[in-house]
Amino acid sequence: MKVREIMTTNVECVAPNAGMIDLANKMKTLDVGFIPICDNDRLAGTVTDRDIVIRCLAGGKDINSCKASDIMTTDVFWCSEDEDVKEVASKMREKEVRRMLILNNEKRLVGVVSIGDISKVEEKESGKTLKDITEAA
């Protein structure tokens, strides 16, 4: 089974110059704790709710002037929409991530897949992936 068949496709991006309040409100509205950062239709990084707390607030940055680009993770892991679900689960284990961004052949963001998405179709793979990620933490 290809990852495009199970990925969430309604993924929204935020610009690198987005402020923390706007970013947090976007996460609240979408009910997510993770959001891709896109610059001119290209993936530039990711920000999690934990990044906002640790890198901005606890990092002593001014919440009113801190931008997504100031705290985003730029070493972003992604897979192609044509990859097999088991391959993606393996990469998630290897990179110790709970979500993987999915790009198309033009390197445009088209979706995201989580351990939960994988668990719906590959129970053995999702259990192994979660076990390996949590043991690494």
Count of the separate structural domains present in the chain = 1
Q: Would the pLDDT of 43 be above 90? A: yes
- The H or E element containing residue 49 is helix 49-51
In tens, the pLDDT along 73-102 reads 999 999 999 999 999 999 999 998 989 999
Dihedral of alpha carbons 34, 19, 137, 77, sign: positive
User: Looking at residue 136, what is its pLDDT?
Assistant: 56
* For the chain, counts of helices (H) and of strands (E): 6, 5
User: Looking at residue 124, what is its pLDDT?
Assistant: 57
Q: Would the pLDDT of 137 be above 90? A: no
CA distance 5 to 71: 32
Q: Which domain holds residue 117?
A: 3-136
| Higher local confidence (pLDDT), 122 or 133 | 122
Q: Would the pLDDT of 126 be above 60? A: no
Q: Would the pLDDT of 127 be above 90? A: no
| Higher local confidence (pLDDT), 131 or 67 | 67
| Higher local confidence (pLDDT), 116 or 61 | 61
What is the CATH classification number for the domain harbouring 66? 3.10.580.10
CA angle 105, 31, 106 (to 5 degrees): 10
User: Looking at residue 121, what is its pLDDT?
Assistant: 81
